[in-house]
Amino acid sequence: MKQQIVWSGLALSSLVMADNLSFDGDYRARFESFENMNEKYYGTNPKLGEADDSYLLSRLILGMRYKPTSDLMLRVSLEDSRVIGWGFSDSNWYSKEFNQEHSTQKDLIDLHDCFVKYKHDNLSVTAGRQRIAYGDLRVYGPGEWKNASKWYWDAVKVSYKEDKNFLDVFYGKNILHDPHRFSLDHRDGYTGAGLYGHYVYRDTAAIEPILAYKKNDTKNEVYNALETYYSGFRAYDEDFHSFFYDTLYIKSTGDYTKLNNQKVDIDALGYHLEGGYKLKAIKTKVGMGYTYASGDDPNSEERETFDAVFGASDKYYGRLNLFSWDNLVDKEIFAVYNGIPKAKIKLEYHKFYADEPTDKWKTYKIPTMTHDHYGDEFDIMATYAYNKNLDLLFGVGTFTPGDYIKEASTKDPYITDDNAYAIYSQFEYKF
């Protein structure tokens, strides 16, 4: 009888574990081809990599989720990100800021999510490696277009949620992607903290208060120390009598210690304005956008370069990813068509300018620059949700240099003023 009780108990325990244990996966493959540019350099004569760079990106995520109780959840997943045919070697991605390799596309068999989450009523606490993303992803976003997500965190996050409203605070460090070492064996990057709120004031509209903190006090080849504070907000309405708008404002302050140990104040600004109209009869919305990020004025004592906080930059400032939310003026018009079932087509046109021509763009910094027009970009991207598991994507883009690049090509041998082109196609299967 005792033996039967033991076996019955084990069987019941296995059944409970099976009900509370689940497995999942995500495989993504994307082909990218660029002409007259690569991820680091612009033109036909790059210092590193190839001028015409075509490669295949592969990312596999395998995960497990276990809920021993209704309040407690454990999540563990592994990620394997590879790139085939890339024009760069691993050593090309040595970070002078973090004193180690930090790749954008490659991280072989590493932790992805690995956290414990406790949730009771309106309050939850998540501790461990996790994705931290909010709003339109410009301030807090994982940067998942790249194979190795730019912003994943080893952090503790506390969340309070009531209906559609929430308030989150977190503290932690962002992980670095060294393809040769498992991430438990090497240090993180910035120490960071943040607050993000979301208050719905009508069904399609909300306001979001934002605070952030970023610090790196490890001496490196770029600076001796960095400590930055951010404050701002986002406000949007997705459908106000068929009109829509989205606004974002972030101010940054703090201290920047140069290599000569001179400490200067940080005084930078970034904002985004967007608005348009939904043509519901033809399932299309059209709009205009204006994005600003301050650059550093060489005649000012303060450091004025805005540095994009912890946000994604790989979906907003042109699909060729020539620009990010720093030292930038981006004037955009766009149209999004949703008239085909399960599909979306977006057309966008950008005019890019430097806020301060003498400040940094990509890997370049030319103190004698006078022109500010980087150039113009036109992109078309189509997505198609074949079913609940499979998503497809295809896009093309072209960039025409402006006066900035034409001038820079006469001053830097690694820049030429040729037009650049890109084509990319992707499929993603979730299981």
Question: Taking a C-beta distance cutoff of 8 angstroms, is the pair 46, 420 a contact?
Answer: no
Q: Which is more confident, 160 or 184?
A: 160
Domain of 133 in residue numbering reads as 21-38+55-172
pLDDT score at 13: 46
Q: Give every CB contact of residue 414 below 8 A, 6+ residues apart in sequence.
A: 41, 43, 45, 46, 47, 364
Q: Does 6 have pLDDT greater than 60?
A: no
* 229 inside domain: no
Residues 269, 95, 136, 127: what is their CA dihedral angle, to the nearest 10 degrees? -110
pLDDT digits over 257-273, tens only?
999 999 999 999 999 99
Residue 134 has, within 13 A of its CA and on its CB side, a CA count of 30
In a domain? residue 264: no
The reported pLDDT for the residue numbered 224 is 97
Q: For 112-133, how does the pLDDT look when each residue is reduced to its tens digit (9 = 90+)?
A: 999 999 999 999 999 999 999 9
Q: Is residue 104 part of a domain?
A: yes
Is a pLDDT exceeding 50 seen at residue 2? no
Indicate whether 278 pLDDT > 60: yes
Decide if 122 is inside a domain.
yes
Give the confidence band of 149 by pLDDT, cuts at 50, 70, 90: confident
Q: Determine, yes or no, domain membership for 110.
A: yes
| pLDDT score at 18 | 62
Residue with structure tokens 């931290």? Answer: 132
Q: Tell me if 274 is assigned to some domain.
A: no
Note the pLDDT of residue 31: 98
Note the pLDDT tens digit of each residue in 322-344.
999 999 999 999 999 999 999 99
Give kind and range of the element (H or E) at residue 166. Answer: strand 165-174
Over residues 416-423, the mean pLDDT reads 98
- Mean predicted confidence (pLDDT) in 364-376: 97
DSSP symbols for 180-237? TS-GGGS--S-EEEEEEEEEEEETTEEEEEEEEEEEE-S--SS-SEEEEEEEEEEEEE
For residue 5, the model assigns a pLDDT of 44
Helix (H) or strand (E) holding 118: strand 107-120
What is the structure's pLDDT at 183? 82
pLDDT value of residue 17: 55
In degrees and rounded to multiples of 5, residue 339 shows phi and psi of: -80, -10
pLDDT at 19: 75
Q: Is the model's pLDDT at 1 over the cut of 70? A: no
Q: What is the pTM of this model?
A: 0.92
- Mean pLDDT over all residues of the chain? 94
- Range 170-182 average pLDDT: 93
Q: Does residue 22 have a pLDDT over 60?
A: yes
Query: Does any domain span residue 343?
Result: no
- Tell me whether residue 85 is in a domain: yes
Q: State the average pLDDT over residues 144-150.
A: 90
pLDDT digits (tens, 9 = 90+) for 376-399: 999 999 999 999 999 999 999 999
Confidence (pLDDT) at 150: 85
Count of structural domains within the chain: 1
Looking at per-residue confidence, does 274 or 14 come out higher?
274
**Residue 343: per-residue pLDDT:** 98
Check residue 186 and give its pLDDT.
Answer: 67
The pLDDT of 216-234, averaged and rounded, is: 97
Share of the chain above pLDDT 90, in %: 90
Structure tokens that stand for 217 in this block? 């006090």
